[in-house]
């Protein structure tokens, strides 16, 4: 075997029955859908200048995280994710359904929480002024770090907070590894349900893009978009991504499970595949994407592509070469509208694909480079693509339920 | 040859290769000898100054030098060593061409202090060194390797490239249950028929100042610094916390059918996996023990086994007041009177708590227990806790007939995972 394909003949059909989106464009399905149709983009070119980020649109946290104590225990990325997870459970009609939540699987694709910037800065400043006594770092960390900050940083504590706030406890797994972690979370959850190892799962991820420590990490590789915003496809001369802020969660379940509880599908999650191109030679990423495409299953020709293309190079040029082989498929890059939300970008793409299929229309292009074209008829299939800015490739086929 | 499927009709999953590194040493032979001799790998930390710290000992792996140090570099190196040993023992595939996916339990990755301080020195000027100053010097190619190093997927990507595992490698964290979860993902993939083999690796090289401070601020660590070898006291009345440690465990899992077809030696069977999350609190278990009880029951059900079929429990046994009490509650609730009779020992009394690696390290030790028919002890057991009347195999290893082992892992964030390992199918 090479990639893991989950759609096997005769395997259980899996539906997407809940979508939770809280993004820089707003919260909930209607506000995100309307923003996409109005081609609205929420970028901040000033606060982190020269870096560009997509700030999180304010929400009433109490609506999904009722206890202030819980809110205080989390950093922004966890609050965003826990909030979006609650929206997904609401959307699936499962909020408070202890019987289902107690056996619901959860796979979260997560990075980590933000650092206490003031603590770091004070230590580095003191060290620059010659304070380098042995134990100086220890003493400052012991006295300055908030005791519970660690819990707001730990990758698996987004899932932990979702369990505490929403009661999802069937299982709790956290995948890390940037963009492809989101695809792998979808892939494993689908595989478990399709094979009968599980009936229902909550999957997703979140990111707070308004973080200087994250900007530092990506600046090491010169991956940040600087100075002026441009759509993803128009960044060839100034490549990079603008960090996005979003939580994107989905509820998926077997068709039988959904029917038994009277749940309506947004769409069918048919296939999720992922791979790790070596990326040592030009063309390897393109070839891997083509290989993943061939594993999706039957493509009927009335489809579209929603991609998490980052705008980073050479990954995005490699992806454009792949897209060029499928010119009949209208393309939408979520990175233009939402920024790059890293682990959350693939679940976000799945959510938007399911939403588009359920509403019988693809949202309009938002591109000055001519890559994105209009789609006038309702799509019946949408392929979701994720190409990591550095490593990792994922792809999914989402289909209309007729 | 036994049927290649279990009673549920699923492919039987077997272990055909294992590797381990801990503070006791590198490899199964050295680890097993010291583990059954009751030796401790906990020592006073020399890697960095410990002035100002409440806890000054850990189970560091000092025989693998990393310079300049980063926990992520050490994690990669330890994972590599354990995987090398496991793949070599299994004799599977060709060099750099492992015929299945990689599941890697690894600590969350972040930029660490030596690198942050290097950045700070580069940013030094007249004013304060804040993140704006750091951002001004981060780009331009000077620190490019740190981007690749401090991505969350960096260790898995490196191991996938080296061992030639197939598909997208999965990096996962379920805190201190991570090692067990990596194994569980491998078991599930083989049972689904997606793969004939899986490489499950768990690694942790986390002993650095900030990591120590973080656990210290949560009051989770033992402060019995002197002598360090006696600091971890699982199930003892005077236990006062866990001790951070480093290490890695790796298992080659295969379908029984594939292993038999290539004539591989079967080291053990992954008979069952269970998990159940706890929604009570971020660091504490539900006082009624229900999630742990459910997790243990799920593992038994998944293996199709009854409690009386388990004849050794490899405990999570961290030595924190909370964990050991809750583990007793969970085990005694499921096992009833048997809980006082089944040997329950903690490897962590000797190797410390290898955190993300613990579940896999202890799975390796569980299979070695089956192989050698000898149970490693719980050392430093001098003051029994009357509230935990386990047979902890105190202080001395014991020969015993062992056909099925339960290995438990519990972690922050409500993570619970249990594995059941048995000998070769009859």
Domain coverage including residue B240: 18-109+151-422
Q: Residues in chain A, how many?
A: 402
Going by pLDDT thresholds of 50, 70 and 90, the confidence category of residue B283 is very high
Does any domain span residue B275? yes
Name the percent of chain B lying above pLDDT 70.
Answer: 99
Residue of B nearest to A274 (CA): B168
Tell me, what's the pLDDT at B2?
64
Residue B208 contacts A, CB cutoff 8 Å? no
Q: Is residue B31 domain-resident?
A: yes
CB contact under 8 A, A169 and B140: no
Say which of A115, A151, A217 has its CB closest to residue B282. Answer: A151
B167 and B191 co-located in one domain: yes
Please count the structural domains in chain B.
2
On whether both B48 and B103 belong to a single domain, the answer is yes
pLDDT of A8 > 70? The answer is no
- Whether B312 is in a domain gets the answer yes
Distance from CA of A85 to the nearest CA of B (A): 15
Are the Cβ atoms of B138 and A112 closer than 8 angstroms? no
Ramachandran region of residue A201, left (φ > 0), alpha (ψ -120 to 50) or beta? beta
Residue B53 sits at the chain A interface (C-beta within 8 Å): yes
- For residues A303 and A329, the answer to whether their CB atoms sit within 8 Å is yes
Is residue A2 scored above 70 in pLDDT? Answer: no
Peptide bond into A195 cis (omega under 30): no
* Nearest of A90, A307, A244 to residue A82 by alpha carbon: A90
Q: What DSSP element (H or E) covers B74? A: helix B71-90
Q: Are residues B94 and B185 in the same domain?
A: yes
How many CA atoms does the CB half-sphere of B170 hold within 13 Å? 36
CB contact under 8 A, B148 and A111: no
Residue A105 touches chain B, beta carbons under 8 Å: no
Nearest by CB to residue A392, choosing from B161, B168, B213, is: B168
E strand or H helix at B179: helix B178-191
Residue B73, CA distances (Å) to A231, B203, B343 in order: 36, 11, 37
For the domain that residue B357 is a member of, what is the CATH number?
Answer: 3.40.47.10
- Contact pairs from chain A to chain B, CB under 8 Å: 269
Q: Which residues of B touch A219 (CB under 8 A)?
A: 135, 138-139
Alpha carbon of residue B419 to chain centroid: 12
Rounded Cα gap, residues A354 and A253, in angstroms: 14
The Cα–Cα gap between A156 and A167 comes to: 15
A280 touching B, CB under 8 A? no
Contact A275 B167 (CB under 8 A): yes
- A160 in contact with chain B, both atoms CB, cutoff 8 A: yes
Please give the average per-residue pLDDT across B77-99, as a whole number. 98
Residue B220 lies inside a defined structural domain of this protein: yes
B213 and B331 in a common domain: yes
Find the range with the poorest average confidence among A1-15, A159-173, B102-116, B280-294: A1-15
Nearest CA in chain B to A117: B131
Q: Are residues B155 and B145 in the same domain?
A: no
Find residues 172-201 of chain B whose CB sits inside 8 Å of chain A: 172-175, 181, 185, 188-189, 191-192, 194-195
> Residue A140 belongs to what H/E stretch?
helix A136-144
**Neighboring chain B residues of A195 at a CB cutoff of 8 Å:** 191-192
Q: State chain B's mean pLDDT as an integer.
A: 97
Q: Is A335 on the interface with B (CB under 8 A)?
A: no
State residue A75 phi and psi, 5-degree precision: -90, 170
Range B107-124 average pLDDT: 96
Secondary element (H or E) of residue A336: helix A334-338
- Distant-in-sequence, close-in-space partners of A391: CB < 8 Å, separation ≥ 6: A178, A180, A276, A277, A279, B151, B153, B157
Question: Could you tell me if residue B13 is inside a domain?
Answer: no
Give A10's pLDDT tier (boundaries 50, 70, 90): low
Q: What pLDDT, in 10s, does the model give residues A100-154? A: 999 999 999 999 988 999 999 999 999 999 988 889 999 999 999 999 999 999 9
Residues B255 and B336 in one domain: yes
* B396 falls within a domain: yes
Cα separation, B300 vs A346, in Å, equals 35
Question: Which percentage of chain A shows pLDDT scores above 70?
Answer: 98
Structure tokens at B421: 């390992």
Name residues whose C-beta falls within 8 Å of residue A268's C-beta, 6 or more positions apart in sequence: A13, A14, A15, A16, A398, A399, A400, A401
- Rounded Cα distance between B178 and B410, Å, is 9
Q: How far apart are CA B249 and CA B169, in angstroms?
A: 17
* Phi/psi of residue A109, nearest 5 degrees: -100, 115
Mean per-residue pLDDT for B186-190?
98
Do the beta carbons of residue B356 and residue B178 sit within 8 Å? yes
Examine the domain organization and report whether B143 and B262 are in the same domain: no
Write the CA distances from B23 to B20, B40, B209, integer angstroms. Answer: 10, 8, 18
Residues of A in contact with B147 (CB under 8 A): 217-218, 220-221, 223, 390
For A395, the closest chain B residue by CA position comes to B168
Does the structural domain A14-115+152-399 have CATH classification 3.40.47.10?
Answer: yes
Q: How far is A198 from chain B (nearest CA, A)?
A: 11
Whether residue A124 lies within 8 A of chain B, CB to CB, comes out as yes
Is A132 touching B (CB cutoff 8 A)? no
Among B125, B149, B173, the domain-final residue is B149
Please report the sign of the dihedral spanned by the C-alpha atoms of residue B336, residue B337, residue B340, residue B341. Answer: negative
What is chain A's mean pLDDT, rounded? 96
Mean pLDDT in residue range B212-216? 97
Q: Determine, for residues B141 and A172 on separate chains, whether the beta-carbon distance falls below 8 Å.
A: no
Contacts of B415 in chain A (CB under 8 A): 156, 160, 172
The answer to whether position B183 is within a domain reads: yes
DSSP character string of B14-44: EEEEEEEEETTEESHHHHHHHHHTT----EE
Q: Please indicate, yes or no, whether residues B125 and B210 belong to a single structural domain of this protein.
A: no
Positions of B annotated as catalytic residues are: 176, 316, 353
Tens digit of each residue's pLDDT (9 = 90 or more) over A286-327: 999 999 999 999 999 899 999 999 999 999 999 999 999 999
Give B 121-140 residues with CB within 8 A of chain A: 121, 123-124, 128-132, 134-135, 138-140
- State mean pLDDT over B75-93: 98
pLDDT digits (tens, 9 = 90+) for A367-388: 999 999 999 999 999 999 999 9
Beta strand A26-27 with A14-23 is: antiparallel
Considering the domain architecture, whether residues B350 and B388 belong to the same structural domain is answered as yes
Contacts B103 to A, Cβ<8 Å? none
| A150 part of contact set with chain B, CB < 8 Å | yes
What average pLDDT does the segment B364-376 reach?
Answer: 98
Residue A402: the pLDDT is 86
How many residues appear in chain B?
A: 426
Q: What is the β-pairing status of strands B312-314 and B404-411?
A: parallel
Q: Report the pLDDT value the prediction gives residue A176, as an integer from 0 to 100.
A: 98
Rounded to an integer, the average pLDDT of A317-343 is: 98
Nearest residue on chain B to A343, alpha-carbon basis: B152
Residues of chain A in contact with residue B51, where contact means CB-CB under 8 angstroms, are: 134-135, 138-139
What's the pLDDT score for residue A5? 45
CA distance B76 to chain A (A): 14
Residue B40 C-alpha, separation from nearest chain A C-alpha, in angstroms = 26
B145 and B155 inside one domain = no
Closest CA relative to residue A292, chosen from A327, A268, A262, A322: A322
A126 touches chain B (CB under 8 A): no
Residues paired with A306 in a beta bridge: A332, A384
Whether A92 and A86 have beta carbons less than 8 Å apart is answered as no
The pLDDT, as a whole number, for residue B426 is: 64
Tokens of A311: 């705008």
Same domain? For B84 and B168 the reply is yes
The model's pTM is 0.98
Based on the domain organization, do B141 and B287 belong to the same domain? no
pLDDT (tens digit per residue) in A31-79:
999 999 999 999 999 999 999 999 999 999 999 999 999 999 999 999 9
Looking at the complex, does the CB of residue B9 fall below 8 Å from at least one CB of chain A?
no
pLDDT digits (tens, 9 = 90+) for B137-169: 999 999 999 999 999 999 999 999 999 999 999
Residues facing B185 on adjacent strands: none
């Amino acid at each position: 075997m090479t990639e893991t394909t989950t759609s096997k003949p005769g395997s259980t059909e899996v539906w997407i029955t809940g979508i939770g989106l809280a993004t820089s464009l707003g919260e909930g399905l209607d506000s995100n859908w309307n923003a996409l149709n109005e081609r609205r983009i929420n970028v901040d070119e000033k606060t982190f200048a020269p870096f560009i980020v997509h700030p999180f649109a304010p929400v009433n946290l109490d609506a999904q995280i009722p206890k202030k104590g819980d809110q205080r225990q989390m950093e922004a990325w966890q609050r965003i994710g826990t909030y979006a997870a609650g929206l997904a459970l609401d959307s699936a009609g499962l909020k408070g359904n202890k019987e289902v939540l107690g056996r619901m699987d959860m796979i979260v694709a997560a990075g980590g929480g933000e650092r206490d910037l003031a603590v770091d800065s004070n230590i580095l400043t003191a060290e620059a002024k010659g304070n380098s006594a042995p134990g100086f770092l220890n003493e400052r960390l012991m006295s300055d770090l908030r005791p519970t900050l660690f819990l707001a940083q730990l990758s698996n504590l987004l899932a932990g907070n979702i369990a505490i706030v929403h009661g999802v406890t069937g299982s709790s797994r956290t995948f890390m590894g940037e963009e492809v972690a989101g695809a792998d979370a979808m892939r494993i959850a689908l595989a478990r349900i399709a094979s009968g190892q599980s009936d229902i799962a909550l999957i997703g991820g979140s990111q707070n893009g308004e973080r200087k420590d994250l900007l530092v990490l990506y600046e090491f590789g010169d991956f940040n978009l600087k100075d002026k915003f441009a759509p993803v496809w128009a960044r060839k001369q100034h490549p990079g991504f603008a960090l996005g802020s979003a939580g994107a969660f989905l509820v998926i379940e077997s068709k039988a499970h959904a029917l038994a509880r009277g749940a309506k599908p947004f769409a069918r999650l048919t296939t999720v595949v992922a791979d790790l191109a070596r990326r040592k030679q030009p063309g390897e990423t393109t070839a891997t994407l083509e290989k993943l495409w061939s594993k999706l299953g039957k493509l009927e020709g009335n489809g579209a592509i929603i991609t998490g293309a980052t705008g980073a190079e050479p990954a995005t040029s490699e992806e454009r070469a792949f897209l060029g082989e499928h010119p009949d498929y209208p393309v939408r890059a979520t990175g233009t509208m939402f920024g790059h939300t890293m682990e959350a970008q693939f679940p976000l793409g799945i959510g938007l694909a399911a939403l588009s299929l359920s509403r019988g229309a693809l949202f309009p292009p938002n591109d000055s480079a001519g890559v994105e074209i209009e789609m006038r008829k309702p799509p019946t299939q949408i392929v979701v693509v994720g190409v990591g800015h550095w490593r990792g490739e994922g792809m999914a086929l989402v289909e209309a339920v007729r | 040859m036994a049927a290649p499927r279990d009673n549920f009709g699923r492919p039987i999953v077997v272990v055909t290769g294992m590797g381990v590194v801990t503070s006791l040493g590198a490899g199964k032979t050295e680890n097993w000898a010291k583990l059954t001799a009751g030796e401790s790998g906990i020592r006073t930390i020399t890697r960095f100054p410990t002035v100002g710290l409440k806890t000054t000992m850990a189970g560091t792996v000092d025989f693998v030098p990393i310079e300049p140090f980063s926990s992520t570099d050490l994690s990669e190196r330890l994972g590599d060593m354990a995987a090398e040993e496991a793949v070599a023992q299994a004799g599977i595939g060709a060099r750099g061409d492992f015929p299945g996916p990689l599941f890697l339990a690894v600590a969350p990755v972040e930029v660490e202090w030596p690198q942050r301080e290097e950045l700070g020195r580069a940013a030094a000027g007249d004013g304060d060194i804040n993140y704006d100053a750091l951002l001004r010097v981060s780009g331009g190619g000077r620190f490019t390797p740190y981007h690749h190093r401090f991505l969350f997927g960096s260790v898995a990507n490196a191991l996938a490239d080296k061992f030639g595992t197939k598909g997208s490698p999965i990096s996962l964290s379920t805190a201190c249950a991570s090692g067990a979860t990596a194994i569980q993902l491998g078991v599930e993939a083989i049972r689904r028929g997606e793969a004939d083999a899986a490489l499950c690796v768990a690694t942790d090289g986390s002993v650095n100042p900030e990591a120590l401070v973080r656990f210290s601020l949560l009051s989770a660590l033992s402060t019995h610094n002197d002598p360090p070898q006696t600091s971890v006291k699982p199930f003892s009345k005077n236990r006062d916390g866990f001790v951070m440690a480093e290490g890695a465990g790796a298992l080659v899992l295969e379908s029984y059918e594939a292993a038999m077809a290539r004539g591989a030696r079967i080291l053990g069977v992954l008979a069952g996996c269970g998990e159940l999350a706890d929604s009570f609190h971020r660091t504490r278990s539900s006082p009624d023990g229900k999630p742990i009880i459910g997790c243990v029951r799920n593992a038994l059900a998944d293996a199709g086994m009854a409690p009386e079929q388990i004849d050794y429990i490899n405990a999570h046994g961290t030595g924190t007041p909370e964990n050991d009490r809750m583990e007793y509650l969970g085990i005694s609730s499921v096992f009833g009177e048997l809980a006082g009779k089944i040997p329950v020992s903690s490897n962590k009394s000797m190797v410390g708590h290898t955190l993300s690696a613990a579940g896999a390290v202890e799975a390796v030790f569980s299979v070695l227990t089956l192989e050698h028919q000898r149970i490693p002890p719980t050392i430093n057991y001098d003051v029994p806790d009357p509230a935990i009347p386990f047979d902890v195999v105190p202080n001395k290893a014991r020969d015993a007939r062992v056909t099925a082992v339960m290995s438990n892992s519990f972690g922050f964030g409500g993570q619970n995972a249990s594995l059941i390992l048995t000998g070769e199918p009859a």
